[in-house]
Structure 1
Amino acid sequence: MTRTAIFLLVLGSLLTTPILAQPRITPAGQLPQDIRLQPLKDLNGYFPMYTADNEKDWEKRRSYLRRKILVSMGLWPMPEKTPLNAVIHSRKEMDGYSLEKVYLETMPGYYLTGSLYRPLNLSQQTGKIPGILSPHGHYQKGRFYDAPKTKLEQQLKNGAEKFREGGRNPIQARSVHLARLGCTVFTYDMVGYADNNQISFELAHGFAKQRPHMNREDRWGFFSPQAENNLQNIMGLQTWNSIRALDFISTLDEVDTDRLAITGSSGGGTQTFIVSAIDPRIKVSMPAVMVSTAMQGGCTCENACLLRVGAGNVDFAAMFAPKPLGLTAADDWTVEIETKGFPDLKALYTLLGEEDNLHLEAHLQFPHNYNYVCRKAMYSFMNQHLGLGYSDVPPERDYQYQGSEQLTVWNDAHPAPEGGEEFEGKLLQSWSNDAQAKLDALLTKQAKSLRVFKEVVGGAIDIVIGQGLPKATRLDWNQTYKQAKTNFLEIGGTLTNLDSESANPVLFLYPENWNQKVVIWLTEDGKDGLYEDDNTLATGVKSLIDKQYCVVGVDLLYQGEFLADGKQPKQTRRVDSNTREAAAYSFGFNHTMFARRTHDILTTISFIFHHESLPEEISLVAMDSTGPLAIAARAQARTVVTKLAVNSNGFRFAKVNNIHSPYFLPGGAKYFDLPGMLAVATPNQTWLSGENEVPLIVDKAYKVARAKDQLKTNHDGSIDAMLDFLRTDPK
């Protein structure tokens, strides 16, 4: 039976059905059963580890997570490793170790500060020794911490600490003893702590309100929409400091660069597992009281947009496998790690054949800590895996506590560098300029450079958008509506992505004699935009159906049937549990509205592409404010979308000045902004309107691909010109 005959048969069976002007898929009075309408996830959610069935799957996941960390922290591409200009001064010989003051330039004009602990009599060493990084957590004053007397008395009483002097600062305690055991240890300051105050503590860790005067198009400040658009955050700066701290300790003559380790607790634990995940030089890692499926880190310095959407701290710790990984747990958010998270880590280490390299020290009788008991376990772990050579590790003994006056690196001979908001703006501008220079250099006149460009820029955009084309097996179609019109069928239903649990009302306008070509027609009004106000087909849609194209409309999130009152939100939602105006508290755990709408388009594209009817061509049209969404979707769909016809409206993410704008997309501006998304889809056919001229990176990409004829521009956004483009057979 021919397709036309089938159509006429269906038409005859439907003539008695009442004709609805604009079809509704979801029952009246209801919203789609879409999980994204529920409250947003926050840092106190549940973050189980992704489990892999085989080593190949894990390596793929690990590679993706590494890229996710680097992109989200503004380290993709990695900043230039400028000279450290490290200064080590004021050496003191102590009981079994030496103590020195250090500052080094991790970015031009920006300094990392800390204390260097070394064994005595290094000149008598016959071989090189391990180097250990020791990042601190959110202890008051960090490296200068001095435990309150009442707290110390309690710790001495319950066995958490052993020495009245040494128990005053657990950061110093572990650094001293590791040096006494024969290691060089660098304890360095978090941003805003102790001597590292070019960026203030109040900003880095206490930010609560947007600063309008720092939300500007150049020399912007941390937490501003511009910083988020470029993925510049305190967590990224601290991670970069950890990488440069590794660079520093590796330059010391006595340090064996094949025996580098890191250990820190709480916020220092976050720094530990993050840098361990991305820097292969670290051979042993022990993050204390931080790895769990529960609370992921409450400080602004532990959060970044994009970072924990679909991932969590156990995943990041797992990236160190199969190298030696030690964990500690206490009566805090890590209290359930023995049953939630650690079994998955153990299964992974077993899969990789190194189950003995994983260790958990759980002392749930103690609150949040890195106390004497847990440090003792750490020393044994380091002895075993760094080859310290002890059959029985000597226990800690007391040491002379050093306060801020003894430890500060700044003095008249070594004055503190400039800081404040003016410096902050210069630092972020320099960071941005460095990234832009590296990105600009990717695309040359050589054809092979386009592949590298797509790997770097396209790889970043993949993280920024957060979803590609879902697998066909993860999509579900529930058809609930069918209605015959004069020369086409309306077929409607709900398209569900089983992974994201999204549920979009979708309408197919199926012509009498389908030409095997599909046009997805995006509008501000969702699928209602297929029609005019008088319920007749929109002009362009009618023209396509007359030419036997199937036209598809979809209600993206917060369009059409997603709206109880018909009004689209002017602001995106934020997490209910945190009133601080840092974007990462919402969008470090949830996709933005822009990203989620882009996902809806990708889900629709994938469903059509994999449909049993085997369409020959899929085109994507967006002639109104949905243009940027279509461009973002095409950047991920690439060749699956044969043609893109779009009005960009001159939109740029860099101009979005509100972290809760529906068009806010963390990282959206960094990778050549919207034109970068067009460029990574080169050499596919594109009809572009809304630009005064072809964006430079787009023009360059099509030239390198030798595909200039595949890019058409139209300044006035003519519907007729757009339709001609769609109806022209691809070359």
Structure 2
Amino acid sequence: MGNGDSAQFQNKYMLNTLNLKAFFLTSMLCATIFLAKAQDSDQAYRNTLKATLDRIEDVFEINLQYNEDLVEGKELDYAFWRIVPGNLETSLAQVLAPFDLTFFEKPNALYRITKFDYPRRSVSFGEDHLNYLSGLYSNKMEWESRKAEMKSCLIEALGIDDLPETPASQPIITQRRKYKGYSVENVALEVLPGVYTTGSVYKPRPFKKNHPVIITPNGHFGQGRYRESEQIRCSILAKMGAVVVSYDLFAWGESRLQFPSTAHKTSIAHTIQTWNGIKWLDYLTSLPETDPDKVGITGGSGGGSQTMLLTAIDDRIEVSVPVVMLSSHFSGGCPCESGKPIHLCGGGTNNAEIAAMASPKPLLVISDGGDWTHTVPELEFPFIEYIYGFYGEKDKVKNSHFPEEGHNYKVSKRQSMYPFMAKYLGLDIEKVLGENGLVKEDDVTLESEEELKVFGKDGEDLPKGAIKGLEALYHMLEKAQ
């Protein structure tokens, strides 16, 4: 290369270097401008959660109900972009999920926003879930396979098979009180070492042979098994010819002699309450005067949850009447109903499918318009009826709906339950009918709470070996395992 060529090359190199530097400077400037604009866009698309919810109310013409502290100070990237035209449920889900919030539908276009609550979903979620479940089986064989899988999983999820053996101790029975057409005695069963379930057993008078059995798990209604409506229901069923038990919830009633009321809000309550129901079935069906082939169950609210669950896992139950509890979008807000992961069984289930596990046995679903059962006639009942159709037994599943009533097990709902139990358990309803064709409920004797207790007024008769406190219960269960 000559000197001229070298100088030309150096000049060309310096020019290219300057051009390259200019290119990089220009690129960096463009990138800075782009990022600045992108940041401006992010800020423009960011909005408060409150403003986003207000916009959803306007777009979909609904009302949202929530506590202000749930939304205060919360902001959302691309807030309005999360609102999907024509799809309220998706819009709410996309807006609320980043804050661990959820929603559920109430009557009159009102939606309640709360912290994420796994037992409580929207009605549309329940509808979608039922559509999914109904696609899993289209005939009796497929459903029976699903039901067997579910039963095994429910028992495993509750930990029933891991419980220690039932002690061989004898039932503790108080003096029997005799009334017109029935009697009452208080009974305690040692269901686990040092753990007792307490209840009142109502028997027909005269007490003969082959009496059907009915267990009535309690719900979260005030006074538990001591309340007036519970005593009336059990007394009337006994007058009709059944042996009936009303028993305390775990850490309610006399169970509080062993466990504080706060223990009821723990997941172990789910297991113990279910175990108590099984042990009451063992006891009552073992009596020489009862017929173990004629067993019914009915309970309201949390007692309705137990009604569906026990029917699903205990084949001895022939007639089931869950009251004001069945729903595809609510599985029970108390740990005693959903504390154990039973609703994860089968890849995900709900109380409608669990209730359908009663098929093809007689099932009466009682619902109302004032709680989560308001959708039963249009949503859950057709799903259950579909399953009963696999057996050709649609006539054995019924729904009594009370659209103007609320969450209770009062007289109108009992008047629906009595003839259903009578029909399928062979009870004599004629004994208790009035001139108007309805069951007379005024001819029973209401007892005081003290009279209905097994262990005395202040628990003075609680056995010395009874354990006390959750720590002692967990220790006993761990030792047994």
The TM-score, its normalising length taken from structure 2, stands at 0.69
The correspondence of residues 171-190 of structure 1 with structure 2, limited to 5 A, is 171-190=230-249
Moved more, 379-388 or 407-416: 407-416
How far apart are the structure 1 equivalents of 2:202 and 2:176?
10
Q: 2:120 aligns with which of 44, 64, 77?
A: 44
How far apart are the structure 2 equivalents of 1:195 and 1:414?
11
The correspondence of residues 18-167 of structure 1 with structure 2, limited to 5 A, is 39=100, 42-45=118-121, 46-47=125-126, 48-49=129-130, 50-51=133-134, 52-77=137-162, 79-83=164-168, 85-122=170-207, 125=208, 127-145=209-227
How far apart are the structure 2 equivalents of 1:117 and 1:377?
21
Contact 2:258 2:468 in 1 (8 A): no
- Does residue 358 (structure 1) correspond to residue 397 (structure 2)? The answer is yes
- Corresponding residue pairs, total: 355
The correspondence of residues 606-685 of structure 1 with structure 2, limited to 5 A, is none
Letter in 2 for 1:364: P
Deviations 1:279-301 (A, max 9, x none): 11111111111011232211121
Deviations 1:670-691 (A, max 9, x none): xxxxxxxxxxxxxxxxxxxxxx
- Does residue 282 (structure 1) correspond to residue 341 (structure 2)? The answer is no
**Unmatched runs of 5 consecutive residues or more in structure 2:** 1-41, 43-76, 78-92, 101-115, 434-438
Letter in 2 for 1:250: T
How far apart are the structure 2 equivalents of 1:118 and 1:190?
21
Q: 1:272 Cα shift?
A: 0.9
- Does residue 430 (structure 1) correspond to residue 476 (structure 2)? The answer is yes
- Does residue 403 (structure 1) correspond to residue 448 (structure 2)? The answer is yes
Q: 1:258 Cα shift?
A: 0.3
Q: 1:416 to 1:259 in 2, by over 3 A?
A: same
Q: 1:341 aligns with which of 365, 380, 388?
A: 380
Q: Which residue of 2 aligns with 1:323?
A: 361
Contact 2:326 2:352 in 1 (8 A): yes
> What is the SS of the residue equivalent to 1:65?
helix
> What is the SS of the residue equivalent to 2:160?
coil
Q: 1:242 Cα shift?
A: 0.5
Contact 1:132 1:263 in 2 (8 A): yes
> What is the SS of the residue equivalent to 2:203?
strand
Contact 2:239 2:431 in 1 (8 A): no
Q: 2:262 aligns with which of 203, 207, 220?
A: 203
Q: 1:356 Cα shift?
A: 1.4
Contact 2:251 2:259 in 1 (8 A): yes
Q: 1:244 to 1:84 in 2, by over 3 A?
A: farther
Higher relative contact order (CA 8 A, sep 6+): 1
Q: 1:183 to 1:198 in 2, by over 3 A?
A: same
Contact 1:192 1:199 in 2 (8 A): yes
Aligned-residue identity in percent: 33
> What is the SS of the residue equivalent to 1:409?
coil
The TM-score, its normalising length taken from structure 1, stands at 0.46
**Unmatched runs of 5 consecutive residues or more in structure 1:** 1-28, 146-168, 208-222, 224-231, 437-731
How far apart are the structure 2 equivalents of 1:400 and 1:391?
20
Q: 1:392 to 1:177 in 2, by over 3 A?
A: closer
Q: 1:418 to 1:74 in 2, by over 3 A?
A: farther
Q: 1:193 to 1:420 in 2, by over 3 A?
A: same
How far apart are the structure 2 equivalents of 1:183 and 1:144?
19
Q: Which residue of 1 aligns with 2:327?
A: 292
Q: 1:196 Cα shift?
A: 1.6
> What is the SS of the residue equivalent to 1:286?
strand
Deviations 1:546-577 (A, max 9, x none): xxxxxxxxxxxxxxxxxxxxxxxxxxxxxxxx
Deviations 1:596-650 (A, max 9, x none): xxxxxxxxxxxxxxxxxxxxxxxxxxxxxxxxxxxxxxxxxxxxxxxxxxxxxxx
Letter in 1 for 2:222: Q
Q: Which residue of 2 aligns with 1:547?
A: none
How far apart are the structure 2 equivalents of 1:332 and 1:348?
25
Q: Which residue of 1 aligns with 2:292?
A: 257
Q: 1:76 to 1:420 in 2, by over 3 A?
A: closer
> What is the SS of the residue equivalent to 1:196?
helix
How far apart are the structure 1 equivalents of 2:117 and 2:441?
45
Q: Which residue of 1 aligns with 2:415?
A: 376
